[in-house]
Structure 1
Amino acid sequence: MKNLVLATVLSFAGFTAFASVQTPELNVDKATVITLGDFEEINVSDLPEAVTTAVSTNYPTAKVDKAYKNDKDQYKLELALEDGTKGTVYADAEGNWIDM
């Protein structure tokens, strides 16, 4: 009987140990700059004409969803095709594709 009481007490102690974990607060009032690696998000309208021309030439059915730029004037582009396929490509300021 003592073992049953002891097991019950220990099981309640184990449950209360997990219940005391606190989750961090989400601060929605602060502005956030999105940085991926060394890429920083920019407006799609800020892309150089050479990059937009390269996208329309090589991916005629693609739409640029998001664009990112790093300090080396390299661009990360998130593309969406008409069929719903999504992908990421990288280009330099002259519109040449690069591997990253």
Structure 2
Amino acid sequence: MKKIFITAIFAIGSLSAFAQEEVTVIETTEATEATEVVATQDDFSEVSSEELPEAVTAAVSKNYPTASIDKAYTNEANQFKLEVSLEDGTAGTLYADENGNWIEM
């Protein structure tokens, strides 16, 4: 009976160990412009698709021709996190360096 109780405690504890990604929004206002910075727990900040290097967009087009980039993020190491969706409705997250090489995270 004691083993069952301990096993149940570990099972419940392991489920709570997978916390959701925390998103913090910081707004900075200057005299003429307002800037919104989105910082996530994994240190990626959102950027527009136009700010992506040509090598990254070319890698997406080459390896996933039916994909569209929905959101893009970057970190201090010039790595990019891309949320993409395919024409068939599937979606996923890709990671690439600034040279368009895929990274496994």
Comparing both structures, which one devotes a greater share of its residues to helix?
Answer: 1
How far apart, CA to CA, are the structure 2 residues paired with 1:33 and 1:72? 18
Q: Relative contact order (C-alpha < 8 Å, sep 6+): which is higher? A: 1
Structure 1 SS opposite 2:37: coil
Q: What secondary structure sits across from 2:100 in the alignment?
A: coil
1:82 aligns with 2:84: no
1:1-100 pair list within 5 angstroms: 31=27, 32-36=36-40, 37-100=42-105
The TM-score with structure 2 as length reference comes to: 0.65
CA distance in 1, matches of 2:93, 2:54: 18
Separation of aligned partners in 2, 1:72 and 1:97: 14
Moved over 6 A (4+): none
Unpaired segments ≥5 residues, structure 1: 1-29
Letter in 1 for 2:61: S
More strand by share: 2
Q: Which runs of 5+ in 2 are unaligned?
A: 1-25, 28-35
Q: CA RMSD in A?
A: 1.2
Higher gyration radius (CA): 1
Deviations 1:37-82 (A, max 9, x none): 2100000010000000000000000000000000000000000000
2:97 aligned partner, one-letter code: D
